[in-house]
Amino acid sequence: MAATIIRGSEIAQQIREDLKKETARLKARGVVPGLVTILVGQDPASMSYVSAKQKTAYDLGFYSLQDSLPEDIPESLLLERISQYNEDPRIHGILVQLPLPEHISEEKILYAIDPGKDVDGFHPVNVGRLMVGQADFLPCTPAGIQQLLIRSGVRIDGAEVVVVGRSNIVGKPIANMLLQKQEGANATVTVCHTGTRDIGFHTRRADILIVAAGKPRAITADMVKEGAVVIDVGVNRIGVSPEGKAQLCGDVDFEAVRQKAGAITPVPGGVGPMTITMLMVNTLKAARISAGLERKP
């Protein structure tokens, strides 16, 4: 029997409906969640991502601001702009779209964001809080993965989880999140990467397999345990359709693996829609904390 398809687009929509209601309640108390997205240059992919984030914020009723800056802006002026948003009471979340031009240090820019407004969850203060299980803001893609599992009724407590990929954006944070002694976590986690001698040895043990390898169809059916839950984070462009539309695939051989797995996310329509949604969750949470309506952990 083919695997159940975990449709992130549907789960994301459910969360967004809840966010709309909570935003309306906050507005009734005089609090409007505010998000600024900062885009340096005109990279088409980055422009598309930022546009989607702004549209989602607007649809939810947030105060949304798009700050588009020239590609040759000096690093010092970008730092100054971030400082202004750190002090702006209308702004609860600051997102700097990556990548940045080569003359600007991504590390310096991300570290300049007030941790209380770091709704991407990349500031070292927030990374440290995640490590000890006291995060204000969880990184958006890992948070989306965790919600997919929870809302799909997947048992995480005690499960064998294997993460393929050790990036700071996905692999490391999701591994840390799922091993915490908390509800929606408490798993045994193994992380595989380019230095792992036999990835299949580990992936075949996984009750939950999370793949963020950055390589098209890297995980094949023979590498997956019968009945496993497979979360495919990868988005790889493999061609263009006759109609001119980009053809995408994940890091998992979807058609083969879905015949063996118990549940699987598609690409597109799986993890992707959850990422922007969790950014909005973090922004609303930042607004609540700022207004004294929610305690910090």
- H/E stretch holding 96 reads strand 93-96
Same domain assignment for residues 103 and 223: no
Q: State how far Cα 165 lies from the chain centre.
A: 15
53 given a catalytic annotation: yes
Buried b (16+ CB within 10 A) or exposed e, 236-252: beeeeeeeeeeebbbbb
User: Are residue 265 and residue 185 in the same domain, yes or no?
Assistant: yes
pLDDT score, position 289: 96
245: annotated active-site residue: no
The predicted pLDDT at position 296 comes to 65
Helix (H, G, I), strand (E, B) or coil at 152: coil
Q: Which one of the listed residues 53, 117, 225, 260 is annotated catalytic?
A: 53
127 is in an annotated binding site: no
165 is known to lie in a ligand binding site: yes
Q: What angle do CA 176, 37, 28 make, to 5 degrees?
A: 90
What is the average pLDDT value for the chain, to the nearest integer?
Answer: 95
Domain membership flag for residue 22? no
* Judgement on whether residues 122 and 189 belong to the same structural domain of the protein: no
Determine which one of 54, 117, 118, 120 is catalytic: 120
Please confirm, yes or no, whether 120 is among the known catalytic residues: yes
Residue type, 70: P
- Residue 237 and residue 181 share a domain: yes
144 within some domain: yes
Largest CA distance in the chain: 58
Tell me whether residue 76 is in a domain.
yes
| 167 labeled binding residue | yes
| End residue of a domain, out of 128, 158, 192 | 128
The total number of structural domains in the chain stands at 2
Tell me the CB-side half-sphere exposure of residue 222, using CA atoms within 13 A.
Answer: 1
Cis, peptide link before residue 89, omega less than 30° from 0: no
Domain span at residue 123 reads 27-128
The CA R_g of the chain, rounded to the nearest whole Å, is 19
Is 290 annotated in some ligand binding site? no
* Residue from 97, 146, 147, 180 carrying the catalytic annotation: 97
pLDDT tens sequence across 62-98: 999 999 999 999 999 999 999 999 999 999 999 999 9
CATH of the domain at 190: 3.40.50.720
Please give the model's pTM, rounded to 2 decimal places.
Answer: 0.94
- Whether 254 and 157 share a structural domain: yes
77 φ/ψ angles, rounded to the nearest 5 degrees: -75, -35
Looking at the fold, whether 162 and 197 belong to one and the same domain comes out as yes
Does 293 have pLDDT greater than 80? yes
